[in-house]
Structure 1
Amino acid sequence: MHRLAFSKADTAKFISHLDLMRTFQRSFLRAGIVIKHTEGFNPHAFVSIPLPLSVGFSSGCEVLECQVLNTPLEEVPERMNAALPAGITVHRCYEGVRPVKELAYVNYIVTLEYEAGAPFGAETAIRSLLERPSLVMEKRSKKAKTGKVEVDLIPLVAKATVEERRDTIALDLILKAQNPGLNPELLVAAIRTYCPDAAPDYAVFHRRAVLDSQFQPWE
């Protein structure tokens, strides 16, 4: 199995997961790179992204899995970048060794923006919120009969740093990646619910790193 490390920025962050998969499949064709396909009457490209990124999130650490058949791995990034749309950049192609189940945490930078500047006491309020022993929120769930389920966010937050920066507040978060994972949008929703005076006008999300259980880079 081969892996492509790529980033997603600018307008490309608004490409949905399914459209991103189609974009990569078309780009492999345009680049003349042959990848493994499934067998049968309707074969399709064997590509997957272990942790789909939410629409509107930027990222510098995305991973796509595939099997390159006809191209030296060191040539893949340049050829793919010539075929991919602006905002999606492949940085390297390498042999995937570690299983996806070892992908344990994700590092996000969440920037809370305020049109009139960060409210007085907002940094302290948000920090106190994240230091609570429990922080229960509702999230959508396909398995629940009601379509929603309550989840305690605190056990899913491994580390959290809150820092006020001029007119914004930056959250440096290390969150559980899977089984279950935590989308940082739910933490922003918790701020709006429990700390309404600190609720941002906008929130900007960036995925900075994917990590193993020892908080080391997962590849």
Structure 2
Amino acid sequence: MADRLLFSKTGRAKYISHLDLMRTFQRAFTRAGIEIKHTQGFHKHPFVSIALPLSVGYSSQCEILEFGLVGGATAEEVPQRLTAAMPEGIIVHQCYPAERKLKELAYVNYIINFEYSEGRPQASEPAMQGLLSRESLVMQKKSNKSKKGYTEVDLIPLIKGFNLECQSDTLTLDAVLCAQNPGLNPEFIRAAFCQVYPDYAPDFVTFHRREVLDINGKPFR
């Protein structure tokens, strides 16, 4: 049976790309003296796999990495030893057996902050509410497989639920989105909002992955 890590990626670490993050973990296991399984074949390397790769610039408190613990540490010791070998912003919270299949990971909870340096337009809240309450919201998505160079995706069926919270300079969207097959990148929500309501376009947007969920809306581990 494989093993999994639950880790967070915040601060400056959110700008580490997916491939660089994989290399960072591979090196950290070695520095921490933790033996893990390697791939088979001529060019063997430490095997690590991250579920639902995070976009560069996104922060998260619920990232999942799959690997195989061989020796050098117990599962209880792994989080502390691995975190000590990590760059600032990456913290390993838990190491546990991978008992559930990754295909059971159904939804992702994102916190999306729309920030306005000169104050939030009051109409931005009803505008967002109306946008996400539509029966259909079709956006174009780049696709190398399509002759047109893009495909169309309807965002609404991929939004499980959402809540809005407003402050004087911020519109916060708490949304539960489909995770895979197909999944919805929250960037499409930002793009749709700015496209439909350009007058309410924020000065800055942050994306934070708060939780990964199963089909019943329970945390996936």
Fold match, TM over 0.5? yes
Report the TM-score, using the length of structure 1 for normalisation.
0.98
Q: Secondary structure at the match of 1:129?
A: helix
Aligned position for 1:56 = 57
- Report which stretch shifted further, 13-22 or 140-149: 140-149
Q: Secondary structure at the match of 1:64?
A: strand
Q: Distance in 1 between matches of 2:56 and 2:128?
A: 25
Q: Superposition pairs for residues 8-157 of structure 1, below 5 Å? A: 8-70=9-71, 71-157=73-159
Q: Distance in 1 between matches of 2:122 and 2:75?
A: 52
- Would you say the 8 A contact 1:126–1:198 is kept in 2? no
Aligned position for 2:169 = 167
Pairwise CA distance, 1:143: 2.0
Residues 150-180 of structure 1 deviation map (CA, whole Å, 9 limit, x = unaligned): 1100000000112212210000000000000
Q: Secondary structure at the match of 1:69?
A: strand
Residues 33-90 of structure 1 deviation map (CA, whole Å, 9 limit, x = unaligned): 0100012211111110110000000000000000010021000011101100000000
Report the TM-score, using the length of structure 2 for normalisation.
0.97
Pairwise CA distance, 1:113: 0.2
Q: Secondary structure at the match of 1:189?
A: helix
Pairwise CA distance, 1:25: 0.3
Q: Secondary structure at the match of 1:187?
A: helix
Structure 1 runs of 4+ with >4 Å offset? none
Q: Secondary structure at the match of 2:76?
A: helix
Q: How many residues align?
A: 219
Q: Secondary structure at the match of 1:42?
A: coil
Q: Superposition pairs for residues 180-195 of structure 1, below 5 Å? A: 180-195=182-197
Q: Distance in 2 between matches of 1:19 and 1:66?
A: 16
Q: Distance in 2 between matches of 1:31 and 1:143?
A: 42
| Corresponding letter in the other structure for 2:217 | F
| Corresponding letter in the other structure for 1:90 | V
Q: Distance in 1 between matches of 2:159 and 2:16?
A: 27
| Corresponding letter in the other structure for 2:216 | Q
- Would you say the 8 A contact 1:122–1:197 is kept in 2? no
Aligned position for 1:200 = 202
Question: How well do the aligned residues superpose, as a CA RMSD in angstroms?
Answer: 0.8
- Would you say the 8 A contact 1:61–1:209 is kept in 2? yes
Runs of at least 5 residues in structure 2 that lack an aligned partner in the other structure: none
Q: Distance in 1 between matches of 2:164 and 2:43?
A: 50
| Corresponding letter in the other structure for 1:37 | H
Q: Distance in 2 between matches of 1:100 and 1:169?
A: 32
| Corresponding letter in the other structure for 2:161 | K
- Report which stretch shifted further, 181-190 or 157-166: 157-166
Residues 94-132 of structure 1 deviation map (CA, whole Å, 9 limit, x = unaligned): 011110000000000000000111112110111000000
User: Percent identity at matched positions?
Assistant: 58
| Corresponding letter in the other structure for 2:133 | E
